[in-house]
Structure 1
Amino acid sequence: MNVGVAFVKPNDPIDGVNMSQPGSPLSTIAAALRRERERVGISLAELARRAGLAKSTLSQLESGTGNPSVETLWALGVALGVPFSRLVEPPAPPIRVIRAGEGPRLPSDHADFFGTLLAAGSTHARRDLYVVELEPGTGRQAEAHIPGSIEHLVVAAGRIRTGPSGDEVDLGPGDYVMFPGDVPHRYEALEPGSWAILLMEHR
């Protein structure tokens, strides 16, 4: 399963997409970063400081270049006080179809972990729907998201260990878990080809 926003090996191209073209994933991210930074009213240097990034890295992202990882974008979302989806989701048409294998792919720095943003919540609902794909290996340690975040996960195939760090649970196909996303948490595949549906709720 590969759909929408996903995480690949660092420095891999994003599904062969020309990232610098208008409407491309990087142009969407660049516009969103500028918009949200200006909304908060902070400088590029201050946002970089809050997110723990080099100013040059953030400058590249705002200019539509570079190759951001999911960890970088999560850090920026936390620093700006917005969900991850606000930085990667283009304006939605009235009807939207995402075919298997389509959409931009974002790399994870630390794990063979794939996540796909299927739909972002509205301003009022603030819920984002993803497909996540994992392969056995190191697992992915996620930092705390914005306060009030809750994660809902249903395993579709394979086996996945997930939950707040130190309090993880093992899940199989059809199993569901809910846990706070505003504390450090972890995802780990226990079998090859594991994938799940993830609903992120931002209160």
Structure 2
Amino acid sequence: MEETRTAPADGAGTPTRVGAQVRRLREDRGLSQSALARAAGIGKASLSELEAGRRNATLATLYALAEPLGVPLAALLDEAIGAEVSGSGVTARLVDVGHRPEATVETYVMNFAAGELRRSPSHGAGVREHLVVVAGTLRIGPDAAPVEVRAGEHATFDADVPHHYLALGGENAQGVLVIVTPRLTRS
């Protein structure tokens, strides 16, 4: 499934806003577009178009950029509450971001399409995910040890390894995801 990006009507997470944030973070770190594109495994032309606001950022692209920039996903969304990003059978809507001395805590409402496997790369050292399933059943967690979680249950796992999400039973699933990123990364 091709990845798409959507944004709420108030402009939170629009391509222009996301692109400007990516450019600012890249420049703050003294990285050229070529260096960041290479580190993220994306094309330089794609990064250039994204930074200029001419290309929609997908969930996969944002996660690819987050690690070399040393920031949580919410930083790339400019911490715009209500920003949505979609791809590979999942839509994530940012509902809260908190900054504590030891960690950044991001909260998303997640919708998972039935039968669509969503693979996620590692998010950096020490990152943990906490997912409460509110509808449906999901197989989630590290690729080497996923668990099945039903509505009303939750799972916690280290997200510093490749992991995945899969809605089971032929029905869509929904959950609330909390990502805790230790302050080992830049903000």
**8 Å CA contact retained: 2:138, 2:149:** yes
Match of 2:93 in 1: 116
The 1:188/1:9 distance shift into structure 2, 3 A limit, reads same
Q: Unpaired segments of 5 or more residues in structure 1? A: 1-7, 92-97
Deviation at 1:69, TM superposition (A): 1.0
**8 Å CA contact retained: 1:9, 1:107:** no
Q: 2:28 aligns with which of 19, 39, 62?
A: 39
State whether structure 2 residue 14 is matched by structure 1 residue 14: no
Name whichever structure is richer in strand by fraction: 2
Question: With structure 2 as the length reference, what TM-score do the two structures score?
Answer: 0.87
Any idea what the Cα deviations from partners look like across 1:87-124, whole Å, max 9, x if unmatched? 00346xxxxxx7xxxx444231xx21111111122263
Any idea what the Cα deviations from partners look like across 1:108-162, whole Å, max 9, x if unmatched? 1xx2111111112226340100111112223101110121100001110111110
Match of 1:28 in 2: 17
**8 Å CA contact retained: 2:126, 2:158:** yes
Q: 1:189 aligns with which of 141, 162, 167?
A: 167
Q: 1:202 aligns with which of 158, 178, 181?
A: 181
Q: For 1:50, what is the secondary structure of its paired residue? A: helix
RMSD of aligned Cα (Å): 2.2
The whole-number CA distance in structure 2 between the counterparts of 1:104 and 1:9 is 19
The whole-number CA distance in structure 1 between the counterparts of 2:62 and 2:159 is 15
Question: With structure 1 as the length reference, what TM-score do the two structures score?
Answer: 0.80
The 1:52/1:18 distance shift into structure 2, 3 A limit, reads farther
What is the aligned length? 180
Deviation at 1:35, TM superposition (A): 1.4
Q: Unpaired segments of 5 or more residues in structure 2? A: 183-187
The whole-number CA distance in structure 1 between the counterparts of 2:96 and 2:83 is 14
**8 Å CA contact retained: 1:68, 1:107:** no
